[in-house]
Amino acid sequence: MTEETQQEMLKSIGKKDFEDLFCNIPEKFRLRREMNLPDSHSEIEVTQRILELAQKNTPANDGRVFLGAGIGPHYIPAAVTSLAGRSEFVTSYTSYQPEISQGMLQTLFEYQSLMAELLEIDVVNSSMYDMATSLAEAIRMTVRAKNRFRFLVPGTVNPEHLRVAETYTEPVDITIQKVGYDSKTGLMSLEDLQEKLDDTVAGVYIENPSHLGFLESQVDQIAELTQNAGALLVVGVDITSLGLIRPPGDYNADIVIAEGQPLGVPISYGGPLLGIFGCRNERKLVYQMPGRLVGLTRTTEEPYDRGFVLTLSPREQHIRREKATSNICSNQALMAVTAAIYTSLLGKTGFKELGETILYKANYAAKQLNDIAGVNAPAIGDAIWKEFVVQFENGVTTEQVHQALMKNNLHGGVKLTEFPELGEAMLFCVTELHTKETIDDLVDTVRSVVDGGAN
């Protein structure tokens, strides 16, 4: 910028001096010395410096990270990244003008159809922010549909999801209550559920697999008790488990939610994520769904021409303001596209193989850890799939285990500090990325800590 250009710009905005642009900043807060910045560098020098800094990081996709709790490391096929990175997907935002957004609307329609088939649920919207907001919106949806203001969740519910749900529901006076669970199996207490169910309960939520990794084997009984009480059953699932375990639609779920991150979306320090949301094809439920719903129509006479449209539109929710079904008017379109590409690439056989691979590796890891004296794995639940709780005894703390793993270039599980009844416990996550050698390395490191005791 030349001095002449700068003076012309200042004059056009009615300022005499460059300092006048900062007149609202008090003098005592202004920097009056030169900043200690390096001189300019060439492109190759900058690239070399960035690579040098990058080498200090440890990648999360190298199979040595055992963090989970809803967001876990998964393999992303190269085709997913390549296709989802096409400009027509990356640059698309929202389809306010369907007549010129047919390609994106069709892609989201395909996403909805794939998710509905996986979940065996009738209607799926074109995505939410994440599973936490999906749970919050599901709770408010049950209240609108039933005009009741209590909602029941399992005592093992994901604490982060619960906090988001409480933030959404507290302003509208919705009461969320926890249902007790068996300390050994993790299963929801049917007695406590039956005691808490009455005509003030709008819905009941279960996670399967649960946040603590075990499979909830009482889904049919819970569904029957809930619906006999006139409430709606909301089910949260790990979408990649559905190649093996029963989909929620098979046990009469009214509303289904899931986290779509495992479907080809990188961890990326915790986001962006993908909230999957669906429900039964019942008019009073569909019309209460949050977010957007893409529909398909066609001309009445041959040759038929297809067209895609926003059947439920966020623009309508903008107009309705406080009467809108949701304050989420956008969606995670790029994440939904990624999930659709990933799902179509794997197909039915691929999903089954993925589920089996994770099942075998997670159970192998749990068995090897359980063989260590002073370690209990899985500490809760009889059947696990991907995640499981590990308890440490004899004075060994999760912090000791964590530090020892870090020194060996391994990252352990999530410390379960929000479940004090489990003692010194961690939630480990094993996926298709973890090799037998890495799992054995993890087990050997934990054994060395336990054998050393609290010292």
Query: Which domains are delineated in the chain?
Result: 78-343 (3.40.640.10), 348-452 (3.90.1150.10)
pLDDT at 61: 82
Tens-digit pLDDT profile for the chain (455 aa)?
A: 898 999 999 999 999 888 888 888 998 998 888 899 888 999 999 999 999 999 888 888 888 999 999 899 999 999 999 999 998 888 776 666 767 788 888 999 999 999 999 999 999 999 999 999 999 999 999 999 999 999 999 999 999 999 999 999 999 999 999 999 999 999 999 999 999 999 999 999 999 999 999 999 999 999 999 999 999 999 999 999 999 999 999 999 999 999 999 999 998 888 899 999 999 999 999 989 988 889 999 999 888 899 998 888 755 556 666 777 777 766 688 999 999 999 999 999 999 999 999 999 999 999 999 999 999 999 999 899 999 999 999 999 999 999 999 999 999 999 999 999 999 999 999 999 999 999 999 999 999 999 885 44
pLDDT at 271: 81
Say if residue 415 is exposed, middle or buried (CB neighbours under 10 Å; 0-12, 13-18, 19+): middle
DSSP string, 361-382: HHHHHHHHHHTSTTEESSSS-S
Amino acid (1-letter code) at residue 336: A
H helix or E strand, kind and range, residue 41: none
pLDDT at 317: 58
Beta bridge partners of 205: 234
HSE, CB side, 13 Å, CA atoms: give it for residue 127.
28
User: What is the C-alpha separation between 444 and 333, in angstroms, rounded?
Assistant: 43
What's the pTM? 0.87
The 10 Å CB-count burial string (b at 16+, else e) for 230-253 is ebbbbbbbbbbbbbebebbbebeb
pLDDT at 454: 45
pLDDT at 455: 43
Q: What is the CA radius of gyration of the chain?
A: 26
Instruction: Give the Å distances, CA to CA, from 11 to 6, 14, 16, 18, 19.
Output: 9, 5, 7, 10, 13
User: What is the C-alpha separation between 157 and 75, in angstroms, rounded?
Assistant: 26
